[in-house]
Amino acid sequence: MSLTLPGDRLASAMEYMPGPGVYERDGELFAALTGELVRDEQNTELRVKPVVSVPLEISAGERVLGRVHSVRESMATIEVVRVKGKARQVGTWVMGTLHIARMSEDYVSDINEVYRVNDLVQAKVDETKPALKLNTKAGRDGVVGARCSGCRDRLTMVENELFCTECRQREARKISSEYGQVQL
């Protein structure tokens, strides 16, 4: 095993292409992270296989869980905390935007009837660059956990609506088919 450290010179850019964990500067290839150097002779590529924890990457098409951070007239901002199906939580403060047109198959005139601040939401990632754009049109996407806007008690699902057992009021949301089944 050949251990590399960030900044180690690995080869000339004339010999190999930079792969994951490798960058090029002034015609030379350098390690971007600590790890094992892997030489792919067939594709003439160098990559560094990390031996330390690296930040979780989010890809288009994945489902994420997040908390509604803010709600504005035409969009909601979601703080992404987990990528569904991956054991690790998102390590840094990752924010995604959910535009009103991507919230539901139905017409949405008031975002507050679909999402509220602090709702736990499941969404599909449409784009990652230049910014994280989310979509909750699918039936399995939407609110997976919510609290009453009056007393802050957990809302339960009663006859396909969210209901507060404490103050006895119903609240409108874009409810996921997985409501109450998702845990962070």
Give the domain ranges of the chain: 3-50, 63-171
Output the CA torsion sign for 54, 55, 56, 57.
negative
Cis preceding linkage at 18, omega within 30: no
Torsions phi, psi for 76 (to 5 deg) = -120, 145
* pLDDT tops 80 at residue 1: no
29 pLDDT higher than 80: yes
Average pLDDT on 12-25 reads: 93
Q: 3-50, which class in CATH?
A: mainly beta
Tokens of 9: 């010179």
Report the pLDDT averaged over residues 138-162.
92
Instruction: Give this prediction's pTM.
Output: 0.70
Question: Each residue of 151-172: pLDDT tens digit?
Answer: 999 999 998 899 999 999 999 9
Common-topology check for domains 3-50 and 63-171? yes
Is domain 63-171 annotated with CATH 2.40.50.140?
A: yes
Q: What are phi and psi of 104, to 5 degrees?
A: -155, 155
* CB neighbourhood size of 161 (10 A): 13
Q: Does residue 33 surpass a pLDDT of 90?
A: no
Render pLDDT for 50-98 as a digit per residue (tens, 0 to 9): 887 666 789 999 999 999 999 999 999 999 999 998 877 776 789 999 9
Tokens of 37: 């150097």
Distance CA 180, CA 32 (A): 41
